[in-house]
Amino acid sequence: MALLAVAALSHLLATPAVAGDGQKPEVQRLFQSGAYDEAVQASQGGDPASIYLAAQAMMKADQAGQAREQFARLSATNQPAWQLVAQSGEALIGGDAGRAVTLARQATEAAGDNPFMFYQLGLASSKAGDWGGAGDAFTRTIELKPDFAYAHYYAALVHQRMRQLPRAAAHFDAFLRLAPDAPERQAVQAIMRTLK
């Protein structure tokens, strides 16, 4: 079973990386390396996916006010699916996980091939305690964007929570390969030692 999970992840990681919805690759690189302010700067004048990653960067930096600013920028794009994701993000900041899930689910229905819609659904579902739903959403994110390290990171946490340890280990391993400079690196390495 563990070999199948590792083989499936290896296949996904070998697939060429495609930036989701025109996303600037440097924004993702900066976000995944913990350079949160730089990720926000790189997203300026950018596409919705880059703005979304800037909002996520501010959330990781525990800067709710700045995250709200980025979600407001995202809402201003006048793209309905991205507006739903922005509202979902704001609901998460406000502690309303149920609303965040509903809005993120609507976003996936509006733009079902966009990995960031599923990533938001995974984040919201995790916050709501729906581990199965979160796992499904992060799996879909990874299918659509296998180079997105944080989708692997959160998928690993969900699988660890559900005691699916081989799958958790495979996703943690992918996270470490894709984001070698991530702030979570040492914590993930410590978790990996306990999973072996």
- Domains of the chain, each with CATH number or no CATH: 2-195 (1.25.40.10)
pLDDT, position 43: 95
Integer Cα distance of 121 and 89 in angstroms = 10
Q: Which two tokens stand for residue 180?
A: 């070698």
Q: Mean pLDDT of residues grouped by 10 in the chain (196 residues)?
A: 39 37 87 97 93 98 97 94 98 98 98 97 98 98 98 98 96 98 97 88
Q: Which residue has the tokens 């969900």?
A: 158
Report whether 138 contacts 119 (CB < 8 A): yes
Q: Which residue has the tokens 């926000």?
A: 40
Report whether 124 contacts 100 (CB < 8 A): yes
The overall pTM is greater than 0.85: yes
Report whether 53 contacts 23 (CB < 8 A): yes
